[in-house]
């Protein structure tokens, strides 16, 4: 997708050129998902399919509400249901988390991607996959700390939530936020969403959820999709939301400065070989070597060596 004016590119995968910075006044946007207000109706899932023209296969019911069972190339968002017995209160709690791309400030997917421009980050914070540049290698899957990108077996392109970058570019909110009947999904500038979250958290605390808080993990530089959680101290209980997500050190090592060092070593070996040849010269077989070999062969053939060649 082309870059709209309000969606200037801040970072581009596998690119060494400097992005334009003069017009960098764009506000950072964010989606705030208030888990405490979600009723699990999946209107957001339906809206996502509809807006993005996606069709999910009809699945099978395995006795849980998650449908489909995981994110897929067609399902970019998914309600994950967890039944949790709160040991402190003895209450049974139904935790429903809307899973999908977090639009990290420091996106592991973009760091890992080897294809120039297959993943971009706009100045407003949205991380977008540009399918025409995608080569289907699944490095983004390895890079993502949230297990989000899915590769289609049909066209071998990577897919995930776009945060409705196309709608945002023309001043609309994401389709899921528009569809949510309880306004559990809100959209605005990141600052506004933090303020909104503060008010919700104060309210939740006043009602006994002393660990309520905002999930905006700093390990990935903060995210442009944030959660209000009643139990911020235990994000894992929300279907495995990581407590301190970070780009894996293995990915950092794989994609780090060592790459340039490695290329340098290869260049050094090639240049070193060239200069070895320049200094030492070719390792040539001399006529004497040939004579000696001929003598040896003649000895082997039980023939007496000829005196002329021996004299050499």
Site residues for ligand HEM per CB under 6 A: 114, 137, 254
Residue 188 annotated as lining a ligand binding site: no
Smallest distance, ligand SF4 to C-beta of residue 123, A = 15
Instruction: Look at residues 5, 8, 52, 10 and name the one whose alpha carbon lies nearest to residue 162.
Output: 52
Six-digit token pair at 292? 């000696």
- Residue closer to ligand HEM by CB (options 92, 261) is 261
Sheet of strand 225-229: strand arrangement:
185-189, 29-34, 225-229, 213-215
Residue 109 annotated as lining a ligand binding site: yes
What character string, x for contact with other proteins (CB under 8 A) and - otherwise, covers 204-243? ----------------------------------------
Instruction: Look at residues 224, 73, 93 and name the one whose alpha carbon lies nearest to residue 141.
Output: 73
Six-digit token pair at 86? 């709160």
Q: Is 18 in the site for other proteins (CB under 8 A)?
A: no
Residue 60 annotated as lining a ligand binding site: no
Q: Is 142 in the site for other proteins (CB under 8 A)?
A: yes
Residue 44 annotated as lining a ligand binding site: yes
Distance, CA of 15 to CA of 111 (rounded, Å): 10
Six-digit token pair at 78? 């998914």
Residue 144 annotated as lining a ligand binding site: yes
The 10 Å Cβ neighbour count of residue 234 is 14
Six-digit token pair at 280? 């030492």
Q: Is 309 in the site for other proteins (CB under 8 A)?
A: yes
Count Cβ atoms within 10 A of the Cβ of residue 304 and give its class: 0-12 exposed, 13-18 middle, 19 or more buried: exposed
Annotated binding residues for [4Fe-4S] cluster: 38, 41, 44, 48, 101, 104, 109, 113, 134, 137, 140, 144, 161, 164, 176, 180
| Binding region for other proteins (CB under 8 A) | 14-16, 114-116, 133-139, 141-142, 147, 151, 156, 248, 250-251, 253-254, 259-260, 262-263, 265-266, 269-270, 273, 276-277, 280-294, 296-297, 299-300, 308-309, 312
């Amino acid at each position: 997708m082309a870059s709209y004016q309000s969606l200037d590119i801040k970072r581009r995968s596998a690119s060494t050129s400097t992005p334009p910075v003069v017009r960098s006044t764009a506000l950072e946007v964010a989606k705030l998902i208030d888990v405490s207000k979600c009723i699990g109706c999946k209107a957001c899932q339906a809206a996502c399919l509809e807006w993005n023209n996606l069709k999910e296969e009809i699945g099978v019911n395995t006795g849980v509400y998650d449908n489909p069972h995981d994110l897929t190339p067609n399902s970019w968002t998914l309600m994950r249901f967890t039944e949790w017995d709160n040991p402190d209160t003895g209450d049974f709690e139904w935790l429903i988390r809307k899973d999908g791309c977090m639009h990290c400030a420091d996106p592991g997917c973009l760091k890992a991607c080897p294809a120039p421009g297959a993943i971009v980050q706009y100045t407003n914070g949205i991380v977008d996959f540009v399918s025409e540049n995608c080569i289907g290698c699944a490095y983004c899957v390895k890079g993502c700390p949230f297990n989000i990108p899915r590769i289609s077996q049909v066209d071998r392109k990577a897919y995930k939530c776009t945060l409705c970058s196309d709608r945002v570019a023309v001043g609309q909110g994401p389709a899921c936020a528009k569809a949510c009947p309880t306004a559990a999904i809100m959209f605005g500038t990141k600052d506004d969403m933090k303020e909104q979250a503060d008010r919700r958290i104060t309210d939740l605390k006043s009602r006994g959820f002393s660990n309520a808080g905002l999930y905006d993990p700093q390990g990935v530089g903060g995210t442009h999709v944030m959660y209000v959680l009643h139990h911020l101290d235990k994000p894992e209980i929300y279907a495995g939301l990581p407590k301190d997500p970070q780009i894996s050190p293995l990915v950092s090592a794989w994609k780090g400065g060592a790459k340039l060092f490695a290329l340098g070593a290869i260049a050094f070996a090639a240049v070193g070989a060239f200069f070895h040849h320049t200094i030492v010269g070719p390792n040539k077989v001399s006529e004497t070597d040939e004579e000696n070999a001929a003598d040896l062969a003649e000895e082997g053939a039980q023939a007496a060596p000829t005196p002329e060649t021996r004299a050499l």
